Each structure stands twice: as C-alpha cells, then as structure tokens.
C-alpha cells in the first residue's frame, strides 16, 4: 500500500482555511465525510483529538500528522492540507505546521497504520520535499509530486 493508494486528489486541500489545530482537523476530516469514509464524524473527530491530548502530532519542520484508529473508519484514508499561514500544533520544535496529513484507519490493522505514518514521515523528512509541497498550487500538483516521491520507497504490504 502506498500513500497515494489512500490519498485521493479530492482529499487534498490548498489552502486550508483553519486558524487552529481543532479547525484544521475538522476541515480535513470533512473531506472524508464528504466521501463517506467515516461512519460517525463526531466519534472520529473525538478519537483524533484524544490522540492529540496524549502527545501532539506536530512533528516539527512545519509538519503535523494527526491520526487515529477507529471502528468508525472502516478503511485507511489520508487527507492533506496546506495552510500557508501555519497552524499552531504545539509541535516539537514550537513552530507552526504548514503541511498537515490526517490519517484515519480501522482499529484492527495497527501495523498498517504505523507503516503509513512512517511512510508519511520519511517522505516529508526531506526539506526539499516540504519546500516543494508548500509551493504547489493545486491538489493535482501535490498528488503527482507525492506519487513521484513514493517511487523511491518500497510498497507497504497490508
């Protein structure tokens, strides 16, 4: 499984309009509900926010990866938002997040969940990747760029 297998062009939002962490998560989560990828919006939102209480998913370098496993998320799905002004995610480096990936998935596949998180982290760990994503002007451009980046990695088996 590749990121682009669970990240659809319709789930890439440029720009995000959110001005805080909760709004950013809600805005990205709404992209899933529009496509009927969550059975209960409120329950999945609460699961993501509970995960945030444990430890911020603001990983630093302008990136946040909020995520959860939920019985109301029957399949893995990723949404990506770019917020040019940044969102305070209480990141490890105390800097705003500009690139925000939201990952949701079923509770019964924790290994795949972790591998997808790892794959996102590896791709955005490169400064040139982050810089390029911030310069993208359309969901199609982001998708094509991530697709090219993924060609450098092995496929994740579920």
Antiparallel, parallel or unpaired: β 63-64 and 58-60 = antiparallel
d(CA 108, CA 49): 20
d(CA 137, CA 82): 10
Query: Which residues neighbour 83 within 8 Å (Cβ) at sequence distance 6 or greater?
Result: 15, 16, 17, 18, 24, 97, 98, 100
Query: Can 67 be counted among the known catalytic residues?
Result: yes
Q: Which of 13, 21, 67, 69 is catalytic?
A: 67
Query: Which residues neighbour 36 within 8 Å (Cβ) at sequence distance 6 or greater?
Result: none
Q: Determine the straight-line distance between the first and last CA of the chain, rounded to whole angstroms.
A: 7
Residue 112 tokens, joined: 């795949």
d(CA 152, CA 158): 19
Would you please indicate which residues are annotated as catalytic (active-site) residues?
67
């Amino acid at each position: 499984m590749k990121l682009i297998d669970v990240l659809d062009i319709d789930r890439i939002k440029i720009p995000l309009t959110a001005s805080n962490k909760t709004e950013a998560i809600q805005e990205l989560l709404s992209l899933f509900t529009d496509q009927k990828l969550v059975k209960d919006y409120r329950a999945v939102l609460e699961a993501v926010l509970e995960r945030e209480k444990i430890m911020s998913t603001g990983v630093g370098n302008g990136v946040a990866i909020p995520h959860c496993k939920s019985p109301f998320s029957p399949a893995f799905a990723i949404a990506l938002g770019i917020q040019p002004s940044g969102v305070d995610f209480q990141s490890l480096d105390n800097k705003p997040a500009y690139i925000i990936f939201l990952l949701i998935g079923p509770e019964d596949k924790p290994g795949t969940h972790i591998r997808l998180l790892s794959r996102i982290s590896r791709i955005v760990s490169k400064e040139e990747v982050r810089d390029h994503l911030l310069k993208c002007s359309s969901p199609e451009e982001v998708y094509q760029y991530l697709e090219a980046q993924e060609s450098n990695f092995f496929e994740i088996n579920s």
